[in-house]
Every structure is written in structure tokens, then in C-alpha cells.
Amino acid sequence: MAGRPQAVAGDITRLSVDAIVNAANESLLGGGGVDGAIHRAAGPELLAHCQTLGGCPTGQAKITPGFRLPARHVIHAVGPVWHGGDRGEPDLLASCYRHCFRLAREHGLRSLAFPAISCGVYGYPHAAAAHIAVAECRHALEDNPDLEQVLLVAFDEAMANVLRQAISAA
């Protein structure tokens, strides 16, 4: 659906897309939530590869193979921790998405699946994060004709509904 991302609830580690996005921490060495789930599903090879990358600053992203995942690649995006919105969090979150889409273009990826970056333990308000995610996804879909599918994958139906509302409002 060109020009518009799709929101679904489900397990991002089971998707057969060109790349899934990992809501990573700056170390890229795994953690809780979706980060831990992706590392477990990808196998120890992912951690070994991430140990060679030297981490990643907040607001940026790095790409790795998907190893044991159905997805060919993992794009590790480091979202901001929410501190009330006055420490550049919106710009850093938008930057995460832009870095992911730049990597997708550079690697010829046609399908991507994003989790709700920064919405778990990093505490970003769900509606605000969804608005940024949808806006960046729509820009990327308009700017990259090779990009065929962008999924926003929520950890539960409540978050999927927040994402769907943001898509409808965009």
C-alpha cells in the first residue's frame, strides 16, 4: 500500500520481510522487550555480530544480517528515552526512522517492519510516538518507489489501535 504504512499487532520476530527494526539500546548488545526477543530469535550470531559494531548513538541505526530470523536483516534503531519532551526526543525519534529508511534504500530493501520504537521501557507517550512514526513512514514511502511495504508492528492490540488512529489522522 504505497504512501501508507499498515499497523498490525503481533510478533515482529516471525515476519518474513526484508528487514525488521529492533528498538535497540546504544550498546546494541540486547536488552528487554522487543530487543531481547529479536536477539533470542536471531540466535547467538546476532550478538556476536553486534559486538563488532561499536554501539550506536541515540537517533541513529545500524544494519545486520537477520541470522535465524525469517527477516533477511535487522536494523537496530536507538530511540530516545522520554524525559518530558524537552530534550530533543521528537527529533531523535524521527531521526531513528529516517536512518532506518536510509539503510533500507542503501541495501535495496522493499519491505520493513517497525516496532513501536521508544514506547516500551523508554516511556515515550504512545500517541506522540505513533504520530512521528506514521509521518516518517509516509515520507519514506513517497520518496522511495522501491519500498513496497512498511508495517508498524505493535506488541498488543491497544498499541495497534493507537497506530491505526495515527495512520487515519495522517
Tell me whether residue 35 is one of the annotated catalytic residues.
yes
Interatomic CA distance for residues 139 and 109, integer angstroms: 16
- Spatial neighbors of 87 by CB under 8 A, at least 6 apart, are 80
- The residue from 35, 86, 91, 146 that is catalytic is 35
Q: Give dist(CA 9, CA 116) in Å, integer.
A: 11
Residues with catalytic annotation? 35
